[in-house]
Structure 1
Amino acid sequence: MMKRRRFRQSRTLNERPADEAARLRKEARALRPGHDREMLLRRARQDETAIQIEAWLKSPGLRPPT
């Protein structure tokens, strides 16, 4: 039986998409307009949307009634 490798994340779940979005936007700025640049910007927007959705899900307005 093989043991599963465990990987401890060094950054929080909130930090990873924010860092990825910033990296993708920086990479896109270095490219000329075109398909590759648009795909990088699209992925950056998806990461930013994920951050917003997670914040919305954690908002106090969505707590179950007590």
Structure 2
Amino acid sequence: ERNYLTLTTLTNFLGLLPGERFLRIHRSFAVYKDKVKEIGPKELTVADTVLPIGKTFYKSTRQAFFT
């Protein structure tokens, strides 16, 4: 696991990544879909970290995993 520092917006950074593998779930968070362990009503778990699902991204997050 590595950390990277970048001076760009999350939106611009996600534009550089394969869209089908990464999913924006909050204004501050995006996840690699294959690493999601559990999805709750308002959050999801990646590894041992619980991340909130933002109101704006709730519908698209649910659709990405349940359709």
TM range (shorter): under 0.3
Higher strand content, 1 or 2: 2
TM-score, structure 1 length as denominator? 0.27
TM-score, structure 2 length as denominator? 0.26
Higher helix content, 1 or 2: 1
Task: Point out which structure has higher relative CO (alpha carbons under 8 A, 6+ apart).
Answer: 1
